[in-house]
């Protein structure tokens, strides 16, 4: 049995015992949603012997060219996994992935963002984002929300909001304004407890 076949068998045996929730979390998540205290800093990596030294994202970006010196020739007599593990431990890694971000020391995967706290994947001109995930494209004042895109502002405890303002406890909102406890609404404003409305205003429970 080859090394690849052996590892495939081990993974298969493990997955038979893995609950679906854990499987989705481990396999389908493309970004870790946990921060750790590691070697005196806040990091996306837990304390482990698997990783090498931690550096700030700024230092990592400034020294990109220097990391070429860590390159190694492949040794055909060793497992590629063993060689990769050794290489990964030798290279300094950024404690968090933040680029052109200001006041984002407690966030991960922030790019062109400002004032981000305990949030993840906040990119492209976002500002004042707290306890949220996947916020992008000029969104401001987002709290405890998921997937807000394209010029959103004042979003609280909501999911999948696009090009909308003043949205509270709502989900799947497009081009909305002043909505509370609404879902699946397009082009609506000043509504409460409404569902599946299009281009309506001043409605409560789908009625004017």
pLDDT per residue as tens digits for the range 9-27: 887 787 777 776 776 666 5
Residue 175 pLDDT > 60: yes
pLDDT at 184: 96
Least confident of 49-53, 76-80, 138-142, 199-203: 49-53
Average pLDDT over residues 50-61: 83
Note every long-range contact of 104-107, with CB atoms under 8 Å and residues 24 or more positions apart, other chains counting.
Answer: 105/42, 106/35, 106/42
Which residue blocks in 24-164 are alpha helix, DSSP H? 57-62, 80-90
7 versus 79: which is more confidently predicted? 79
Which residue blocks in 63-208 are alpha helix, DSSP H? 80-90
* C-alpha–C-alpha distance, residues 57 and 52, integer Å: 15
Of 154, 136, 134, the closest CA to residue 146 belongs to 134
Share of the chain above pLDDT 90, in %: 52
pLDDT at 6: 82
């Amino acid at each position: 049995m080859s090394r690849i076949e052996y590892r495939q068998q081990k993974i298969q045996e493990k997955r038979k015992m893995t609950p679906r929730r854990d499987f989705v979390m481990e396999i389908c998540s493309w970004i870790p949603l946990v921060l750790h205290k590691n070697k005196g800093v806040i990091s996306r990596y837990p304390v482990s012997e698997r990783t090498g030294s931690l550096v700030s994202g700024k230092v990592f970006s400034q020294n990109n060219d220097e990391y070429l010196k860590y390159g190694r020739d492949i040794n055909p007599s060793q497992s590629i996994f063993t060689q990769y593990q050794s290489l990964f431990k030798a290279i300094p890694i950024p404690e968090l992935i933040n680029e052109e971000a200001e006041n984002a020391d407690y966030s991960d995967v922030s790019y062109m963002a400002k004032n981000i706290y305990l949030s993840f994947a906040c990119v492209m001109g976002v500002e004042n984002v707290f306890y949220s995930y996947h916020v992008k494209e000029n969104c401001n004042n987002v709290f405890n929300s998921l997937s807000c895109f394209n010029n959103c502002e004042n979003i609280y405890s909501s999911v999948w909001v696009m090009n909308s303002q003043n949205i509270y406890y709502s989900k799947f909102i497009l081009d909305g304004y002043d909505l509370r406890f609404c879902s699946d609404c397009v082009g609506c404003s000043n509504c409460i407890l409404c569902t599946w409305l299009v281009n309506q205003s001043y409605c409560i429970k789908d009625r004017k």
